[in-house]
Structure 1
Amino acid sequence: MLIVPIVYEDGMMDQVDPQSLQVLIEEEMIVKFQRGEGWVYVGVDPVRTKQRPDYPGPERRHMH
């Protein structure tokens, strides 16, 4: 199982699974997490998030 190092807002370090990481990013509970390339700063570096349900544009992932 993949474990991702993270740093919470209060400076505490931890390790979580990818699913928990997604929740922590969405809830803005962490400052950074580590990828293979190095540390990713939430709110500064690009991170994947769930598509907002109110997205007004076309669904570009749909294949005809």
Structure 2
Amino acid sequence: MSVIFTNGEERDVPAYMLEYLIREKKIVAFLRSDGWVQIGKDPIRKAQLPLIRPGDRWSDFMFKRDGH
């Protein structure tokens, strides 16, 4: 995946590093299939983990719509 670091250098990095690089503010942009995404300007989809509480079963979670 192509990214642009804060120093202006463009490089390819493994896709799994993207979230880390964004979180640590090490890149200013990355390339998606539909074009460049500028960090802080363009919307970025964030990974969201489901809220599962102790004692919950995965099958129970699948039928909950609001996470309660």
Given the two structures, how large is their TM-score scaled by the length of structure 2? 0.66
Extract unaligned runs of 5+ from structure 1. 52-58
> Radius of gyration: which is bigger?
2
Q: Comparing both structures, which one devotes a greater share of its residues to strand?
A: 1
Q: Residue 48 of structure 1: CA displacement?
A: 2.4
Task: State how far apart, in whole Å, the 2-side matches of 1:20 and 1:31 are.
Answer: 14
How large is the RMSD of aligned CA atoms in angstroms? Answer: 1.5
Could you report, residue by residue, the CA deviation over 1:14-63 in whole angstroms, capped at 9, with x for unpaired residues? 11111111110111110100011000001111112345xxxxxxx5xx42
- Moved >6 Å (runs of 4+): none
Extract unaligned runs of 5+ from structure 2. 52-60, 64-68
Given the two structures, how large is their TM-score scaled by the length of structure 1? 0.70
Partner residue of 1:13 out of 10, 13, 17: 10
Find the residue that maps to 1:7 and give its secondary structure: strand
Q: Comparing both structures, which one devotes a greater share of its residues to helix?
A: 2
